[in-house]
Amino acid sequence: MNKRAIAQVPATLGPIFACLLSLASPALAQKPNIVLMLPDNLGYGDVGFLGTGGELRGMPTPRIDQLARESLRFTQFLTEPGCTPSRAALQTGRYPIRSGLSLVLVKGAANTLKANEITMAEMLKPLGYTTAYVGKWHLGFAQESQPQYQGYDEWRIGFLGSTDVTSYPREMSKYHAPDAIIQNAIHHIVEADAPNTPAREVRVYDIAYRRQIEKDIADYSVDYIKRHANGRDPFFLMVAWTRPHYPNVTHPDFKGKSRIGQYGDSVMELDYRTGQVLDAIRESGIEDNTIVLFLSDNGPQRTTIFREDLIAGSSGQFRGELFDPYEGGIRTVGMIKWPGKIKPRTTNAMISLLDIFPTLAGFVGGKVPHDRPFDGIDQSDFFLGKTDKAPRESLITFIRDRIAAVRWRQWRLYPRTVLASTDVLNTTGVQGIVAENSGYPAAYNIEWDPREEWNLLIENSWVLGPYMKVIQSYRKTLKDHPNPPAPNFTDF
Amino acid sequence: MNKRAIAQVPATLGPIFACLLSLASPALAQKPNIVLMLPDNLGYGDVGFLGTGGELRGMPTPRIDQLARESLRFTQFLTEPGCTPSRAALQTGRYPIRSGLSLVLVKGAANTLKANEITMAEMLKPLGYTTAYVGKWHLGFAQESQPQYQGYDEWRIGFLGSTDVTSYPREMSKYHAPDAIIQNAIHHIVEADAPNTPAREVRVYDIAYRRQIEKDIADYSVDYIKRHANGRDPFFLMVAWTRPHYPNVTHPDFKGKSRIGQYGDSVMELDYRTGQVLDAIRESGIEDNTIVLFLSDNGPQRTTIFREDLIAGSSGQFRGELFDPYEGGIRTVGMIKWPGKIKPRTTNAMISLLDIFPTLAGFVGGKVPHDRPFDGIDQSDFFLGKTDKAPRESLITFIRDRIAAVRWRQWRLYPRTVLASTDVLNTTGVQGIVAENSGYPAAYNIEWDPREEWNLLIENSWVLGPYMKVIQSYRKTLKDHPNPPAPNFTDF
């Protein structure tokens, strides 16, 4: 049953037929389009609708906030603590350690997304979806890893690494790096027009193009939506934004727009570009049949004094940032909109980036892999309001070859106490806090103590029970499906 | 022009007449009732509607959040950093140092609210308001200071000090204090039925009555509203809640209601009691002509390990708490509702507790004192939407005899760097931060850096210009009106 079939029904019967269709199984109805926007390093405390960012921080985010009002808003959207692991979790629905992607990849790293991994796009293809990926990928440098070999029909304005690279020549020059080294550090924007065809280099991804890229991603996305709005097949468009990842030079239109400098300008450009995509969906008349997801990939990058442009990402009331296993490293911005199907509301249920794949599968009748461990949970009934109880109770956070943290309900557990990368809090052992590098486990109650300042494990050692259960259940899956070697490019 | 006069108009002309009335000067129309609720130590991060509390912290606040949806919501509601100073600022519209109340008072302190101070209630009385004060006062122990000598027609379920006192006998027994000392520490609930009459002791304010007091305050307020709803005169009711101030034992109905223990239970009781007052206003049919304010008095009390019941107040994304001059000590919960007059919306304008007195005067045609320095700013035009620009640009925070901090726009300035009472962050001088007890000034950009982790003064010493202007403008007022001696009961 497709659009053409519907068009053959006499006009007067159209509404009745449409009504019958909506009662039929989802597999028979016209499948919804899916637009998934993935900002890069946007923090919980960067946007207005979650209470701690936007206007309060001198960088209003009206378009994101408006989308939030029309969406199911997640106040516990949990990701992985870095770009590569999060993107692996999103694409595969599996803990990134299972695909060897539990650390951010840099050029030269051996680990890469393997051909036999099944992505979201590969789940959607057999259902008749047209698919496209725009922007940053960052799931490995091998050809087999690239979007057009992983279920996406095309890849536009793409790049394989991180936006960091655009600052490399400038940074390297400061230290008088030889030309050969600088040349080797240059990365390119690449594109592929069709599945299973090698990508071609389009231009250098340098600081000049850094200013332009978000506009190009938005323009391409708008064009794609308009071209496919009246197509026979539903489409799945992944818009992998590059903002507000360092460096944050913006399009000239946004220079000085915010009250807090470059970082704020960049967030405001992201907000505007998001609005362009939303406008295209509305103007194409497909808003009612399009699922829109807006999901950040991980916690924000906070200020460092080593940058010329002071980075000002915020994790709001939470402790930690990008790369930290603390809550602020993984709790970030997330929402889903589906007019008439998903009631706009706020939920404080635990939603993981891992759950997006199986939830979309649940919506459209897709299949999740059963021949391997799969960690995502189908939240579709919960999102649609068919059940009040969200299914997720726990989440493991891996970094490199280790379990860095475990969430179980409102408890955060650290198998060994850790020292956050840039957060000096609590290292003094004052006020009854066990020194964080003591080697003992630690447990924080994230509701009672959102900044994880009070290790309550000694008084609450009972939490080790449910925690061990979560770990054991994960460990059991390793027997038949051991993890590949974890990334180790920093171990020499 | 009063309600009786309106009632004499034929029914069919009622709407026309009401319309004409609304065009007449506010002084001629029926004055609105005013219900001002003042929770005690409720933090920015404790309630749901500001994004960081409520359900996210295991203690839903549905009634406060619903009120917020119907109100002008303040995201920069700024108070003084303690109970007494805040209550002095609210009642007088003047910096508390001007009335000698720049420190929290304890029994035996010489400083007290003087008879010649003019309170909000004294501003409203000449306009025909019936006035009542319910709950904690904490503006001095002398008779002249008490509500019924300061413009309130009656004072119910009152007490002069802080709710701390209910824990004194228990705490003192731990240390084997002599009976005579314990007896001397006992405080009473007092009441006064009429203006200028001494208060009588009603009962001991002990830990048993601590469980009951919020219910009694709510019950009295409900009864007061119902009795005065159809009165000839408008009324001003101040409901000074006692929650979530330590100790937080609750009414038995709320024991175990939250997921985070006693503190959460107490916040949830506050939410429920607030709902009872709102229901009374609605059920009495006076909702449309009643201004409701819900304002916390200062930042929250956070966890200390010295308490049996772990206190869990949160200042959300901000640094600091009760008694700190940091943002978290003074930015807290605030909103105002006036159906049909004040459009429900969020504003990030700076609103000070000082501004409530002159703003209410602006609404009802009251007079603010002109014979003394007055620091509150009339925000009525801004609240009513007559102007887009809020009038406040700066705020000084005094502690004891000193300027502890100055806000100027988004900058927070500390004349001398300070060490927060319980916040160990940043004392290490790492990451370019000037050690906080160095004696040099410090400046933080509260939008760019909500947790005040980055002293930017060296790179932004230009902010000393506007800062000096704010200080000088205050200092000028001291020439003709020197401050009384500041509280010094801890200096021996």
Q: Within chain B, which residue ranges are assigned CATH 3.40.720.10?
A: 30-394
| Domain A395-480, architecture per CATH | 2-Layer Sandwich (3.30)
Percent share of chain B, pLDDT over 70: 87
From chain A, pick out residues whose CB is under 8 angstroms from the CB of B260: 445, 447-448
**pLDDT score of B419:** 46
A225-258 pLDDT per residue, tens: 999 999 999 999 999 999 999 999 999 999 999 9
Contact B449 A52 (CB under 8 A): no
CATH number of B30-394: 3.40.720.10
Q: How confident is the model at residue A173 (pLDDT cuts 50, 70, 90)?
A: confident
Query: Smallest CA–CA separation between A192 and chain B, in Å?
Result: 40
Q: Within chain B, which residue ranges are assigned CATH 3.30.1120.10?
A: 396-480
A11-50 pLDDT per residue, tens: 444 444 444 444 444 444 689 999 999 999 999 999 999 9
Please state which of the ranges A213-222, A457-466, B220-229 shows the lowest mean pLDDT. A457-466
What's the CATH class of domain B396-480?
Answer: alpha beta
In this complex, the residue of A51, A260, A453 whose CB is nearest that of residue B51 is: A51
Please tell me whether the interface predicted TM-score (ipTM) of this complex is above 0.85. no
Q: Within chain A, which residue ranges are assigned CATH 3.40.720.10?
A: 30-393
From chain B, pick out residues whose CB is under 8 angstroms from the CB of A259: 410, 447
Q: How confident is the model at residue B303 (pLDDT cuts 50, 70, 90)?
A: low
**pLDDT score of A112:** 94
What average pLDDT is seen over chain B? Answer: 88
Query: Smallest CA–CA separation between B4 and chain A, in Å?
Result: 44
**pLDDT score of B308:** 62
Q: How confident is the model at residue A373 (pLDDT cuts 50, 70, 90)?
A: very high
Contact B317 A312 (CB under 8 A): no
Contact A57 B259 (CB under 8 A): no
Q: How confident is the model at residue B426 (pLDDT cuts 50, 70, 90)?
A: very low
A421-448 pLDDT per residue, tens: 333 343 333 333 344 445 678 888 999 9
**pLDDT score of A106:** 82
- In this predicted structure, the answer to whether residue B325 has a pLDDT above a threshold of 80 is yes
SS3 B135: strand
Contact B317 A45 (CB under 8 A): yes
- In this predicted structure, the answer to whether residue B11 has a pLDDT above a threshold of 80 is no
Q: Which residues of B touch A (CB under 8 A)?
A: 45, 50-52, 55-58, 75-76, 259-261, 264, 303-305, 310, 312, 314, 316-317, 346, 348, 410, 422, 424-426, 428, 430-432, 445, 447-450, 453-454
The larger pLDDT score, comparing residue B359 to residue A171, is at B359
In this complex, the residue of B58, B316, B428 whose CB is nearest that of residue A448 is: B58
Q: How confident is the model at residue B278 (pLDDT cuts 50, 70, 90)?
A: very high
In this complex, the residue of A261, A348, A450 whose CB is nearest that of residue B314 is: A450
B184-194 pLDDT per residue, tens: 888 999 999 99
Q: How confident is the model at residue B343 (pLDDT cuts 50, 70, 90)?
A: very high
- SS3 sequence of chain A: CCHHHHHCCCHHHHHHHHHHHHHCCCCCCCCCEEEEECCCCCECCCCCCCCCCHHHHCCCCHHHHHHHHCCEEECCEECCCCHHHHHHHHHHCCCHHHHCCCCCCCCCCCCCCCCCCCCHHHHHHHHCCEEEEEEECCCCCCHHHCHHHCCCCCEEEEECCCHHHHHHHHHHHHCCCCHHHHHHCCCEEEEECCCCCCCEEEEECCHHHHCCHHHHHHHHHHHHHHHHCCCCCCEEEEEECCCCCCCCCCCHHHCCCCCCCHHHHHHHHHHHHHHHHHHHHHHCCCHHHEEEEEECCCCCCCCCCCCCCCCCCCCCCCCCCCCCCCHHHHEECEEEEECCCECCEEECCCEEHHHHHHHHHHHHCCCCCCCCCCCCCCCHHHHCCCCCCCCCCEEEEEECCEEEEEEECCEEEECCCCCCCCCCCCCCCHHHCCCCCCCCCEEEECCCCCCCCCCCCCCCHHHHHHHHHHHHHHHHHHHHCCCCCCCCCCCC
Residue B158 φ then ψ, to 5°: -95, 155
Q: How large is the average pLDDT for residues A135-149?
A: 96
Which of A259, A304, A317 should one mutate to test binding to chain B, selecting the residue with the greatest count of B CBs within 10 A?
A: A317
Q: Which residues of A touch B (CB under 8 A)?
A: 45, 50-52, 55-58, 75-76, 259-261, 263-264, 303-305, 310, 312, 314, 316-317, 346, 348, 410, 422, 424-426, 428, 430-432, 445, 447-450, 453-454
What's the CATH class of domain A30-393?
Answer: alpha beta
Please state which of the ranges A336-345, A404-413, B12-21 shows the lowest mean pLDDT. B12-21
From chain A, pick out residues whose CB is under 8 angstroms from the CB of B57: 447-448, 450
From chain B, pick out residues whose CB is under 8 angstroms from the CB of A64: none
What average pLDDT is seen over chain A? Answer: 88
Smallest CA–CA distance from B263 into chain A, residue: A448
Query: Smallest CA–CA separation between A78 and chain B, in Å?
Result: 14
In this complex, the residue of B304, B305, B317 whose CB is nearest that of residue A314 is: B317
In this complex, the residue of A51, A430, A454 whose CB is nearest that of residue B52 is: A51
Contact A75 B58 (CB under 8 A): no
**pLDDT score of B387:** 97
SS3 B278: helix
Contact B450 A52 (CB under 8 A): yes
